[in-house]
Structure 1
């Protein structure tokens, strides 16, 4: 006699069996548990339920992990099949419009992570989601000649590229180098000729018969006792500026001056701001760092001799250009050696450009604020007559906050107090001091143009580069004077880059 409770219980078991959609699974379950179904009672041993119900659930949900299961194989990560330009490619066109990256799988187009020195670009994907396209925003400006552009996809800590299953792409680097329309030489140091550090010399392939040497000093942006750091920064700079030099049709010299940390000596060497040609640069007796302005003069003479040996008619005077710390160097070098400067441009020069006067409003302006003690520092006073003949272009952005006046490696406390008192504290922007500097240069009849660029921070925009190009081009053939004859044997340079027809 079956009770009502037993009847409903057995019906529940039968109902569970009927819910199984797979006929084979249903039949197998019946064969296993139908004898149990007949015997099950509401008060049946709990072991029966423990055996029956989990097995039933496995049939309902085959993927459920009610019992230990073998680990599933992890999905293979997506791979980069190719890039255009190819990794390691050279002689890439300067008018390259886009870079493409082809994957072996469909990718989630929402996520991507790219670290690169490539100019600003937009990101798009092919219809099949396998090709990522980086398209340059500004096609009117060519890529830098002889420049290596590097890319890192999914750099450590910035993983985003992933396929549709969410599997991440492993870090993937690639690079290519654009065509160079110049030769690049590394000239070794030559203490016998007056310079203790190598320099780079970039020579346009199309250089005409007459040449004006363009000089821009290196600016690493930090201190380091590892000279390789400063050498690499100089190499990066000469490659970057070579396109500018090619446009001007002038050779370019970039020194590899050090900027040591030297914290183990007293006073520490980091106080010698060599890359800005500060006061300590003129007074130091540290071997190799003495009078780097004179070392640069020696490099200039050496480079001019090399160009003459190539059959070029080389102007005795130079163009000098610089920005930030190297802007200060250009500004100060022009005051120290106006006799050999044809034209000078200095941008954002340390928050205050050194001015060609000894006093202003009753205050003495020692170097590097002014030139009151220049004679005692370098053994000769300012040659104001020569300086007046040098066209100068001194510029800054009206959003530039980079004020070297605030730092002890650039200015002493007394100099800082005088600048803030007479010319303003440069807060929030340093351009507020520019009208004061302009007034001082005008007071001694210097040929100087002061320019303030709107909405520009501490950077050089394409429009600013174009203004610089026009400035130097307008003075290229003013009062040409041949460079002096060679003063000694030339040490062989190391040819680093030679690309282009006929070279």
Structure 2
């Protein structure tokens, strides 16, 4: 077998670890947090591609499922897939859900995600100043709140089956509403920017278990109004859709028949939505 020289070995390693289904990278901005990607062949060919960020749920393993589940979509739509990994217990206190609410100790997860996107854009020579975001379950929490905080960064958003929702409600504080957004996050609610983002929401009509999503007084994320959006995930997502539409947002709502809390069974709906948005974006 021919021995590879240094440059040949470097190129081979790059093709294995940096393209296609990549290795796991630590964030340079915060090495406690990680990411993995699908990078389509178009990038190695020097072409520009779009970006989809897909955010895992509480178990974190869906980061791999989303990377692989969207790979074919990325291949045929010239779209890279970036899946952050926000570990459980990142501060050593056993917390599972900090990333869902954007803040945990000294971590601002929204800022870290933006830094991840910027870091990978520089690595691959891409312009990802705007990207799409999708999340399911715990990731649906994240995509809901990131869309409210940073609509100017997005060309599309898909929010899947979040356990709790943040409404664009100026009469309630975060995380139920947006009244104190500027004081808390340093930027006001940008209604006009949000109204420009095509938004997709998806949940199964059989996703009815409420044991994990009912906030109880005294629990970590309890606040007045925590359960007001509804008792089940479909009810809460419908409330969010109505609130977004009331804020001028174009919302596509998919209530998927016969599906419970199953992330894989809704991905086809997400891909259909994103494909349509991409076609309009590129035509424009």
Bin of the TM-score, shorter chain as denominator length: 0.7 to 0.9
Give 1:284's aligned residue: 105
Give 2:51's aligned residue: 213
Question: 1:250, CA displacement in angstroms?
Answer: 0.9
Paired positions, count: 259
Structure 1 pair 376–440 and aligned structure 2 pair: CA distance change class (3 A): same
Q: Describe the superposition over 1:252-311 as per-residue Cα deviations: whole angstroms up to 9, x where unpaired.
A: 111221221867xxxx452x62342x1xx42623xxxx1011011000001111221xxx
Q: How does 1:455-466 map to 2 (within 5 A)?
A: 455-460=258-263, 462=265, 464-466=266-268
After TM superposition, the score normalised by the length of structure 1 is 0.47
Backbone CA RMSD of aligned residues: 2.8
Q: Would you tell me which structure has more helix in proportion to its own residues?
A: 2
Q: State how far apart, in whole Å, the 2-side matches of 1:356 and 1:186 are.
A: 35
Structure 1 pair 380–283 and aligned structure 2 pair: CA distance change class (3 A): farther
Give 2:86's aligned residue: 257
Q: Describe the superposition over 1:461-481 as per-residue Cα deviations: whole angstroms up to 9, x where unpaired.
A: 55x32221121112226557x
Match for residue 326 of structure 1 among 134, 139, 143: 139
Q: State how far apart, in whole Å, the 2-side matches of 1:410 and 1:478 are.
A: 42
After TM superposition, the score normalised by the length of structure 2 is 0.79
Q: How does 1:137-148 map to 2 (within 5 A)?
A: none
Match for residue 344 of structure 1 among 157, 160, 181: 157
Q: State how far apart, in whole Å, the 2-side matches of 1:274 and 1:283 are.
A: 5
Matched, 1:467 2:277: no
Secondary structure of the structure 1 residue equivalent to 2:36: strand
Q: State how far apart, in whole Å, the 2-side matches of 1:383 and 1:238 are.
A: 30
Question: 1:432, CA displacement in angstroms?
Answer: 2.8
**Structure 1: runs of 5+ lacking an equivalent:** 1-180, 222-229, 360-364, 481-503
Q: How does 1:234-383 map to 2 (within 5 A)?
A: 234-235=63-64, 237-260=66-89, 268-270=93-95, 273-276=97-100, 278=101, 281-282=102-103, 284-285=105-106, 290-308=107-125, 314-350=127-163, 352-359=164-171, 365-383=172-190
Matched, 1:200 2:15: no
Determine if contact 2:168/2:178 at 8 Å carries over to the other structure: yes
Give 2:16's aligned residue: none
Question: 1:201, CA displacement in angstroms?
Answer: 2.2
Give 2:256's aligned residue: 453
**Structure 2: runs of 5+ lacking an equivalent:** 1-18
Higher relative contact order (CA 8 A, sep 6+): 2
Larger radius of gyration: 1
Q: State how far apart, in whole Å, the 2-side matches of 1:438 and 1:246 are.
A: 30
Q: State how far apart, in whole Å, the 2-side matches of 1:478 and 1:214 are.
A: 16
